[in-house]
Every structure is written in structure tokens, then in C-alpha cells.
Chain A
Amino acid sequence: MKPVPFTYVRAESVEHAVETLRAHGDEAKVLAGGQSLLPALNMRLVRPAVLVDLNFVAGLDGVTQENGSIRIGALARQAAAQRSELVRTGCPLLAESLPLVGHFVTRNRGTVCGSIAHADSAAELPLALVALGGEVVTSRRTVPASEFFVTHFTTTLEPDELVIATNWPRLEAGEGSALDEFAVRQGDFALASAACVLHVEDARVTDVRLAVGSVTDHPELVDASALVGHAVDTDGARSVADAVAASIDPPPNLHGSPEYRRRLIEVLVERVVARAWAEAT
């Protein structure tokens, strides 16, 4: 349970980090909060030749308002985002996701952007970012969250590309959001998770974004267009939940069969749709 030997590079700036990544390609790993990378290093699941530590780069830990979004810098800790008034009032979906990420102590160190870049298929923050239609800002471009996640622990990031920030759309008037999951214990990765953002006008849904996580290889938007044009009632939420559950094919894992996880998705989708509607109206 000790990491393999590696060269440690303390990045002085974003440019320095990117240059180091460029020089070492796949052999280098970026270290931010380290709450996922260090366990993987300790278990020797990853054996990088070079570790690029971002933690000493100044100016990357901001949580700021930018146009219609909240911009969270690469070094902003999950605990800092959780305490942010801007997040609490402007992005309730992120606010309700954060307490589900790891534990009190790991959130002190773990970063919001690190969770996004790590791309665990069962993680809450990637699911929330996809449901919100947020963006990932990298050292060379801005990528919509729905195009960022590819599969387990895999994103569209190039080996020499660094996540600088993530943009979390603010909830607007007439919108409601909800995220829910089922995990065996608090802080565990979820067996199934779902998140919904609804836009409501004149007591009718005008736009919906529904995403599921844990049961697919990356958080994915699913079809909930049946909700558009109607008020959400129990039957409406249930029929969308049925359709989503039928459309997914969750892999079995130690704690649940595919059938069990499909049933969890059904329950969770119904809950998040109903709650997002209640929040919006």
C-alpha cells in the first residue's frame, strides 16, 4: 500500500503544469485534491512516472459568478463550494450534491474539478454538471459537460490538457432541480443516481434535462421529453421513470443485480422529477 517511486513536480503556474504534461504525455498525472488519485497510487492501480502537483498554483481556488454561471476553479475544495453562499443560493443542485461526495474530511481536500476530471461513473458531481448543462473549462477550450465524459474514468481531455474550472449554470426563476441516489452507506459510491432540471412556465414544463448515473459507464442525459407541455403529476413522473428504467441496461455489481439497479433508477427518477417540479412551482 505504498506508491511506486515517481518524480514530483510542483507546478508554479498553469503554463508550467501544461508544459510538464506535454513533456511527459501519458506518463504524467495531475494531482489536485488527491482524494481519488492517492488511493489509486497507494494501491498501485496507477503508476505515473511524474506527478504534477497543482496545489501551489495561485488563483485557481475561486468560486465566482460569471454571467449566468458559477465558475469553480480547479483548486476550489468541495468543502469550500459547500460553504459558498453563491453555490447555496445560485446552484441548489450542486449544493445538494456536495454533502453526498465522500466524507467531511475528504471534502476538505477533494476538489470539485478533480471529481469532474476523475470521471467516476458513480460520482455525484459529474451527474449534476451533465444535468445542469454545465461546462468544463480546460487549458485550451470549453467543453459542454454532455460531451466531456466518455466512459469509466475517461474524458475527452488530452494528456497535456488541464481542467482550469467548471461552469455551473445558475438556477433561474421558474426552474427547479433535484438529485437523488441510493448508496449502501453514506459516502459510498451510489448504486444508482438521477438528477433532473425542469423549466416551468404557466404551470407547464417547457424544458427538461434528466440524467442518470452509476448505472451507465458515464453520466448520461436520458429522454424525458414526454414531460414537456404538461404539468407534472404522479402518473407523468412514473411513466417517465418506467421508460427510463426500461431504456437502461445496468451492469451487476457486488451490491445489486441489474434488475435491482433498474428498479432503483425507476424510483429515483420518479422522485427527482417530482421534486424538481415542486421546486419550480
Chain B
Amino acid sequence: MNAIAVTVNGRSYTELVEPRLLLSDFLRHTLGLTGTHVGCEHGVCGACTVRLDGTAVRSCLLLAVQADGAAIETVEGLAANGDLHPLQEAFRKHHALQCGFCTSGILMAAADLLENRDAAPTREEIVDMLSGHLCRCTGYEPIVDAIADAAGSS
């Protein structure tokens, strides 16, 4: 077992982990933060996307032990003080989710895109980012609309 110290959504945790424990399982099972979803466990579906030191990553493709010392943000941390994040507001407004399984991963990737890469992405750039996230309910159009809308308002 390895000791790791991480900050998740601003709260510090020190835990003992087996080296083979995935970050996704650490978040869900060890910390009980089940907002991060697990779909494919090989990096294709995007449901488990979280932010590691601000950058969107697949939590199923990282070992918890690799996150030692890092600041992690999950979907639970998106609504600061209970106020919905502009992306969450836009998703609600545009009906950009149905079952919600893919939503937390898409929100975390979109937050990285808008904050760190391109505050005003083109529709094409949004679609390209979304190619890494599988959604089976919405047909994607409302998701693209929501991200474009949030970019305009933030």
C-alpha cells in the first residue's frame, strides 16, 4: 500500500491505496464521490473525466498513486457554494442531458476547454472535443448548443 495526499474539490485527504487502484475507483469507492461515472474503463467513453491540477483527464487511465500531491476537481465541485456553474446552467437550459451518465465527464472536459484552451471555441472545436465522450440520449446537438451558450456567457 502507498500513502497518498490529494485535494479533491478543495478538501484534503490522506489515504492508503494499492498501486493498482484506478483514480476513478479511488474517487468513487474510497472517497464516496460517485458523481464521477465509470463506463468503459479504457478511455473511450469519457464518462470518468475529472480535472487533475486543472487539466481534464480520464480518471480510469490514471492510478490513484499517480495523483499524489495533486488537486483534483470532480463534478461535485463544479457548483461553487451551491450556485450552478455556467455550464450546468446551460445544460439545464438546453436540455443537454437525459440519463446523465455521460454528463459529469462532459462538464469537466468542457470546463477545461473553456477555461484553459479556448474561451470562445467554434462549433467545430466543441464537436471535436465531444468526439471523446459517448452520449446515447441526446444526439449531441443540445450539448453543443449548451457549451456554445456557456462560452458566450462566461
The answer, among A3, A35, A55, A79, for a CB contact under 8 Å with B43, is A35
Flag the segment in A104-112, A137-145, A152-160, A251-259 that touches B: A104-112
What's the Cα separation between A8 and B18 when bound, in Å? 9
Flag the segment in B53-61, B72-80, B90-98, B145-153 that touches A: B53-61
Residue of A nearest to B2 (CB): A8
B61 touches A104 (CB 8 A): no
Given contacts A39-B42, A42-B42, A105-B46, whether A2 and B56 have CB atoms under 8 Å apart is no
What's the Cα separation between A106 and B40 when bound, in Å? 14
* B22 interface residue per 8 A CB criterion: yes
What's the Cα separation between A106 and B112 when bound, in Å? 13
Q: What residues of chain A lie closer than 8 Å to B46, measured between beta carbons?
A: 103, 105
A108 touches B22 (CB 8 A): no
Query: What is the interface of chain B mostly: helix, strand, loop, or mixed?
Result: mixed
What's the Cα separation between A39 and B55 when bound, in Å? 20
* B35 interface residue per 8 A CB criterion: no
Q: What residues of chain A lie closer than 8 Å to B132, measured between beta carbons?
A: 102-106, 187
Sample of 12 further A-B pairs with CB below 8 A, known A38-B60, A186-B131: A1-B42, A2-B25, A3-B22, A4-B20, A5-B20, A8-B65, A34-B62, A39-B42, A51-B19, A103-B131, A104-B109, A104-B128
* B104 interface residue per 8 A CB criterion: no
Counting chain B CB atoms within 10 Å of each CB, the highest count among A42, A51, A108, A186 belongs to: A108
Interface members, chain A 231-248 (any B CB < 8 Å)? none
Q: What residues of chain A lie closer than 8 Å to B2, measured between beta carbons?
A: 8
8 shortest interchain CB distances as A-B pairs: A103-B132, A8-B19, A39-B42, A38-B61, A186-B131, A1-B41, A3-B20, A104-B129
What's the Cα separation between A31 and B66 when bound, in Å? 10
* A260 interface residue per 8 A CB criterion: no
* A99 interface residue per 8 A CB criterion: yes
What's the Cα separation between A108 and B2 when bound, in Å? 25
Given contacts A2-B22, A99-B128, whether A8 and B56 have CB atoms under 8 Å apart is no
Report the minimum CB–CB distance from B148 to chain A (whole Å): 16
Given contacts A38-B62, A108-B55, whether A2 and B20 have CB atoms under 8 Å apart is yes
* B87 interface residue per 8 A CB criterion: no
Interface residues of chain B, those whose CB is within 8 Å of chain A, are 2, 18-20, 22, 25, 41-43, 46, 49, 55-58, 60-63, 65-66, 109, 112-113, 128-129, 131-133
What's the Cα separation between A11 and B128 when bound, in Å? 35
What's the Cα separation between A279 and B109 when bound, in Å? 34
The answer, among B20, B22, B43, B66, for a CB contact under 8 Å with A106, is B43
26 sample A-B contacts, Cβ–Cβ < 8 Å, listed by A number: A1-B41, A3-B20, A5-B19, A6-B20, A31-B66, A34-B66, A38-B62, A38-B63, A39-B61, A42-B41, A43-B42, A53-B65, A53-B66, A55-B66, A103-B132, A104-B131, A105-B49, A105-B58, A106-B58, A106-B61, A106-B132, A109-B55, A109-B57, A185-B131, A186-B128, A186-B131
* A7 interface residue per 8 A CB criterion: yes
What's the Cα separation between A55 and B57 when bound, in Å? 14
What's the Cα separation between A43 and B42 when bound, in Å? 8
A39 touches B20 (CB 8 A): no
Q: What residues of chain A lie closer than 8 Å to B109, measured between beta carbons?
A: 104-105
Q: What residues of chain A lie closer than 8 Å to B20, measured between beta carbons?
A: 2-6, 41
Report the minimum CB–CB distance from A82 to chain B (whole Å): 10
A109 touches B129 (CB 8 A): no
Interface members, chain A 102-144 (any B CB < 8 Å)? 102-106, 108-109
Report the minimum CB–CB distance from A31 to chain B (whole Å): 8
Q: What residues of chain A lie closer than 8 Å to B43, measured between beta carbons?
A: 35, 38-39, 102, 106
Q: What residues of chain A lie closer than 8 Å to B57, measured between beta carbons?
A: 105, 108-109
Given contacts A187-B131, A187-B132, whether A108 and B56 have CB atoms under 8 Å apart is yes
Residue of A nearest to B20 (CB): A3
Q: What residues of chain A lie closer than 8 Å to B22, measured between beta carbons?
A: 2-3, 38, 42
